[in-house]
Structures are given as C-alpha cells and as structure tokens.
A and B are shown apart, each in its own frame.
Chain A
C-alpha cells in the first residue's frame, strides 16, 4: 500500500493547493513534499533487501485489453523514488525567495509532476508506464511555458514535440510487444519481457531502436540533445531542476527497466552504436561546455556529458555498470540541482550569470565559496564525493565492455574538471568587481538547501554502502537474467 500512498499523496496535495491563496501556498507545498519524503523513508525502512518487488498492487484496470494497474517497488525503483521525494522538497525550498505569479498553480504543478515521476518509477505495466511517462510531460510543459524566460513558448514547444516523438515511437514498440504476448494479450511487465525475448534478433532490433528513441531523447543522448540546452536555460530554475534532477532519470531508468530485459538481442545488436553515440556525446558536450560563457548553459551541457556516461554504463549491461548508473543517477540528480541553485543564487544576488561579468565572490562571501566548491567537486567526481563512486563504477563497468570506449569516456572526468574549475575560477576568484561586491550574505533558505546538498555530497561520497545495498539484489537479478 505504500506505493499507492506515495503515488496519490502528491496528487491530493496538488489538487488541494489549487484552492489555497496567498503566502501560505509555499509552506503547504513544502509541508506536503516533506511528508511525502517521510513516507518514502518509511518505505525504505520497511524494504527487505532482496531482489523481489515489494509493496505490490495489481488490480485490473482496462480489463478487456489486459491492462492492469500494476505498481510495485524493487531496489532499483526505490532509489529513484527516494531521489524524487528527496529533491522535490529541496526544489520547493529553492523557490521561497521568488515571487512567482499565480503561486498556487505553480506549486500544484510541481506536486502533480512528482506524482507522475513516482508513477514512472513504480509502474509494472507497460501501458501504465506510458501514461505516467506522458503525464510527467504536461506539468513541466506548463511550468516552463508560464514561468519561463524569453521565447519560452517556442522553446518549450520544441521540447514537447521532441519528447513526444520519442514517446510515440515507444508506444508503437510497446503495442508491437503487446500484440506478441501469448494467449490473451497483456501489458504486464512479465508478459512484455517474455514477448520481447521470443522475437528474433531483427525484430528485437527494431523494438530496441523505437523504444530507445524515447529514452535517448529524454536523457538526452547525442544527437538527440538539441532541445535540451535552450529548454534548461529558459525554464524557471525549479523547472530546470525538475528536468535535470529527476526527469532525465526517467530515460536512464527506462533503459534499465523497459529496454535491457525486453530486447537482449536488440541490445547486443545496437549496444555498440549506443555506446559510441554516448561517448561522442560525452566528449562533444564537454568541449562545448568549456567554451560556454553563460554558467547555466554550461551546466546544461555538462549534464549531457554526465548522462552520456550513465547511458553507456547501463548499456554495457553488467553489475558494475548498472550499479554505477544507479548511484550516478542519484548523485547527478543531487549535484545538478545544487549547481542550478547556485546559478539561481548568483542571478538573484548579482543579476548576472555569465562568467565574464562575475568574479571575486570568494573575497566577499567565503561561506558561499566553500559550499559551492563542495558541490562542484562532487560534480567533477573527486574521490570521497558522491560523484566519484558512480563514475568509478560506470567506467569499471564500461571497461568490461570496451576498453576504447572507456578511454574516451574517461575524458569526461578530465574535461569536467577543466570546465567546472574554470568557471569556479571565473566566478569566485580574481578581483571583486562592482557587480559582485554587494553579494556578501546568503539567506537562511539558501544556506539550508546548500548545506543539505553538501551533506549529501560528502556523506554518500564516504559511505555509499546503504544506497548500493538497496539496489544490488535487484541489479544482480537483472543482469543474471540477461545472460541466458
């Protein structure tokens, strides 16, 4: 029943928020998000460390077509649910300084989005998964459209259509699988796995490509990334955080749950191509990030590089690769939200976010300098930060697949250090100028958020075992099911 609670509590809260007026909205939204986080913590405590799906609910939904309301949580789902419930309150907290127009709708959409995201991570029925997958798109579309910056109508529309193309191809793939299920057709995950594996290699390859498109666009992987930088830059900060922190993980999670086990032969056939694309994306996005002048855009490109590595590790389909992917999804989620928050802080305090006009903030605000540095080091994967564990496991997993790919993917660590440290230098070090001189203090909310994120960076950098333990049985089971 935890699953239903996790799923419908945010929806309920979102609907209630629509009727709340005034300043209270922020606090109620935060309260609801915190309660949701506590529910997920209880779920973590109750969770048995086995590979089984737990808290399962399976009810007939569209009976005539074999579609069930089937949700459940295993280790892989649990970590992503946890990421969602952890980040949403933080994201809401980051918005406290902003006075958005029509706040009740804004927070309501964030919570509705949370419901859809949790739904994606717990669905065990192909049709249900698709519904949640699309449902997540609607709130974020409106968040970006209504509260976005210049040109947001055009850019968010491109984003919407781009992801919809992928989704429809995925739907096509799922229907194809569905029609190949034995007996009375069913969308249940087990039936779809079976149907997928019963196909010959050529058909599995087609399904792989169709479904992969959806995930590749969502992540995004080179060359399907062109929607991403503009969307991240124009979206309001909270929208960007939702997109990069959580929504991106829908794609990588999809790879693990809905692609690898469905079409093992397809993965074998096209895995090489995907890894090559991912590696190209890593190098390409890193190089572009180095030349960026706008810090927000720089982080957007760094996100492409990071997710490329995650995708490559997952497609390598071994325990290290997938475990690394899991951990890196969490750390990337936390770190990227932190970085986007730093952009937001810079913007609110100095009005600028381009590297050229900032500088010397460390001299006036050393506290901020330290917090920023910790998050930044997590992002460049320094040992003892959370980023390190993930990248290490990913590269390890990828190495078992291809040494060459690993060599190029490893560049991401070096290039990442180049662009991140360069931007730190530009923003924090050097001479304090007239723009930055006034930025001397952080507000209470800002401190709280940055401290929470820094704590997560360090704690899970030093002691990642609890997280690894949650996912491990499920990952081992998954990988062993892939090799016949």
Chain B
C-alpha cells in the first residue's frame, strides 16, 4: 500500500519538475525514491487487513512480487540513464515509467476485478506511449501502434470476461466469486465459464502466451531497447502475478474447465517460442521470442496449481528478469557500437571486451537454464511443481523446449568466443558496469541460495 502511494506521488512530482525546473536533479531523486519505496514496501510484510474498501489486499504475495518488481525497476533505471538524459520530454519519461510501476503494484495486490482492470490499463497505456517514445523512428511508431491496437483488443476480451463473470455471480470481488462458485456447485451459469475463458484470453495476451503472442516480437523489436527490457521483465512479472492471483483465488475450484486450455497454451508457447527463436538473425527479435518461450515455462506453474506455484513463479520471474536486464543492457551497448543487432555483432566480443562477454555468458547460461545460475533453479523448481501435480508429459515437452533454447542461446556464446570480429574498442559507461556486475553476481548468488526467495510464499 505504501509502495503504491509513494510511487504515485513520485510520478506526480516528476511531472511538476518541468514547471519548477529541477530536471537535472530528477534522475538521482527518482533513484532514491525507488530505493525508499523498496524499503518501505518491506514494512508491509505483515499488513493483515484489506485496504481501499476491500479492493486490494497487501498480502505476502503482493509484497513479494512488488519487491521483485521494484528491485528489477531499480536495476532498469540505472541501466537506462540515457533514456532519461537525452532527447526531449524527459520528465514525461519519468512520469510514465513511475505510473506504469504504480499499475504493476495494483496488478499484484488487487482483490477486485475492477482494480485488476485499472492496474492493467494503467500499465498498458503507459507502455503504449513508451513503445513509441522514439518519435523520429518509424519502427518505434509502428511498434506503439501495433501494441495499442492489439492491446486494446485484448483489453476488450478481458473486460467482456469481467462483465460476464459479474453478470453471472453478481460480484467483482475475488473471494465472493469463489464463494458463489462453491455454494452453487453444479448450477453455475454457462456465462460464467465463458467469462473465465475470455479473461484467460485477455491475460494470455498480456503475458504473450501462444497463440496470442504475435504482437510481442514486432513490438519488442521496434520499441527502444530500454523499453523492450522493461516490457520483457517488469510487465511480464506483473502480468503473471495478476494471472496467478486471479486464477488461484477465484477460479481454482473450476480448474477443470481451464486447466487443459492452459496446458495446451503452455506447450504451444514453449514450442513456438523456442523454435521460432532459433530462426532469428536479429538478437533483439530472438530475445523477444525467447521471452515468449519463458512465458511458457511460467505457465507450467499455473497448470500445476499447487503450493509450489506462486513461489515458483516468483523465483522464475526474478531470475528471468535479472538475466533479461543483463542481456538487453549488453545488447544496447553492442548495438550502439556496431550499429546493428544481428547476432554477428557479437563476433569477437570475447577478445575485444572480455568483461561484457563474461557477463553475457553468465546471463545467457541463466536464460538457458544451466547450473549453477538462477535460471537453472527456476526451471528445476517449475518442473518440480508440475511433476508434483502429475503433468509428466508437459514437463517432457518443456525439457525438449529448453534443449532447443540452449541452441539459440549458445549461438551468442559461440559468436562471442569463437568467431573473429572487427575488434572495435567498446567502452562501457560506469553505470552499465555497475548494473552488469550486480547482475552477474545476483545470477549466481540467487542460483546457489534460492531458499530466501522461495520460502517467502
């Protein structure tokens, strides 16, 4: 709750900066503000009661996910300082990002479907603008436009679903909906099921699960790299938390109608994401497909639906987001120097800049799920959750998918160390260096000591 208030006030203050002209100080100010929010958020750990008239509940789930999101956002802010220092409309960038973060906080802590909708919209509208924030670039414009059109479509589905559920149960409140289903076993109106499936479609779009993932590669590729990093990490984390919260508080008792759908979706997402990623030549587009594929792994936890699910998703999003911030950061550095983001731009990086190559190796190994990185434990934990519920076949599909994943991730490693490059000098800004060091350490430390995260939920 405190996090939400702080983030919103920070957002408003940044908008005022344009008027009162303290733009220069804004960047450190926001960083400090985020740090403060992160700390204050931890004090909500045992906040018991519902807040805002029962519209939100700041339970352990919400605090844990908010912390992950804020930590990732902090890293993201340090990484993308140029986004906040160069060009025009800088204060707007700050404001939009902070409001987007406020949206994510609502998405992880709602107990009422109107709040879910609000959260998703606050986040999405901010993202539409950010995707187009590189105004002179045709691709960026295309990306924003595509995202807006497709996103609006998905929101339509979501809203329609909410309406149908409200129509059949008479409530927006998750707990009351659940109560209605359990007390009306056997004669829940058909419209309710339709509503559940429509909401499923809407949310699957937001997490870019197949077959609703087609927007993701184009949008990710066109948007400025820092915005892509934001979408691939923070947006995805929040969307999954919202997904999980909805389906595990309200719809868990009718899981037999949606669990098979999600099963198929997970399998499709894993296979299409990974297989299509193999064929990409642009690293950014490849990472976009890999991000789709990772959504597939997280869907496994949703299918599993047991005590491991939420902690598995929490850990997975943390591990995946940290690694993704790393890859996008290095990608933007390399793209700036080489002028192109094809995989061949990484050629010879092992020689020309061993530090970047080393960090890239660590994060790529994490994304591929090789021990002792965090990515391995994340996959292991998700697989355990799914096997616990008896989804052996799905886990086997996921294993095959992660093998395919190894293929395209290793293309980067092979390019860096094995192929000869032009050996340009790549200089790294100090802020990037700090972020990358933190990421490399965090990836390995999280992988070796996962206990402190997974015991949270």
**Measuring CB to CB, which residues of chain A are less than 8 angstroms from any residue of chain B?**
61-65, 130-131, 134-135, 137-138, 142, 145-146, 152-153, 157, 160-161, 164-165, 168-169, 171-172, 175-176, 178-179
Contact = CB atoms under 8 A, between A and B. Distances in A.
B384 A145 contact: no
B376 A63 contact: no
Contact of B376 (A134, A172, A179): A134
B384 A63 contact: no
A142 to B, nearest CB: 7
B387 A179 contact: yes
B226 to A, nearest CB: 30
Contacts of B297: none
Contact of B371 (A61, A135, A157): A135
Interface string B436-452: 00000000000001110
B45 interface: no
B406 A160 contact: yes
Contacts of A152: 418
B383 A175 contact: yes
Q: Is chain A's interface secondary structure helix, strand, loop, or mixed overall? A: helix
Contact of A175 (B370, B387, B414): B387
Given A134-B370, A165-B403, A172 B454 contact: no
21 contacts: A62-B449, A63-B451, A63-B455, A64-B455, A65-B381, A65-B451, A65-B454, A134-B372, A135-B371, A137-B370, A146-B418, A153-B414, A153-B419, A157-B414, A160-B406, A164-B370, A165-B403, A168-B403, A172-B399, A175-B387, A179-B388
A61 B365 CA distance: 22
Given A64-B454, A152-B418, A172 B388 contact: no
Contacts, number: 70
A87 to B, nearest CB: 24
Interface string B371-390: 11000100011011001100
Nearest to A130: B371
B384 A172 contact: no
B155 interface: no
B371 A134 contact: yes
Contact of B410 (A65, A130, A157, A176): A157
Contacts of A171: 380, 383
Given A62-B450, A172-B395, A138 B370 contact: yes
Nearest to B447: A131
A145 B381 CA distance: 30
Contact of A161 (B384, B387, B407): B407
B383 A172 contact: yes
Interface residues of B, number: 30
A331 to B, nearest CB: 31
Q: Is chain B's interface secondary structure helix, strand, loop, or mixed overall? A: helix
B414 A145 contact: yes
Contacts of B372: 131, 134-135
Among A145, A165, A168, residue most surrounded by chain B Cβ atoms (within 10 Å): A168
Given A172-B383, A172-B396, A161 B406 contact: yes
A172 B451 CA distance: 21
B270 to A, nearest CB: 14
A192 to B, nearest CB: 14
B403 A161 contact: yes
A65 to B, nearest CB: 7
Nearest to B413: A145
A62 B453 CA distance: 10
Given A175-B383, A175-B384, A178-B384, A131 B371 contact: yes
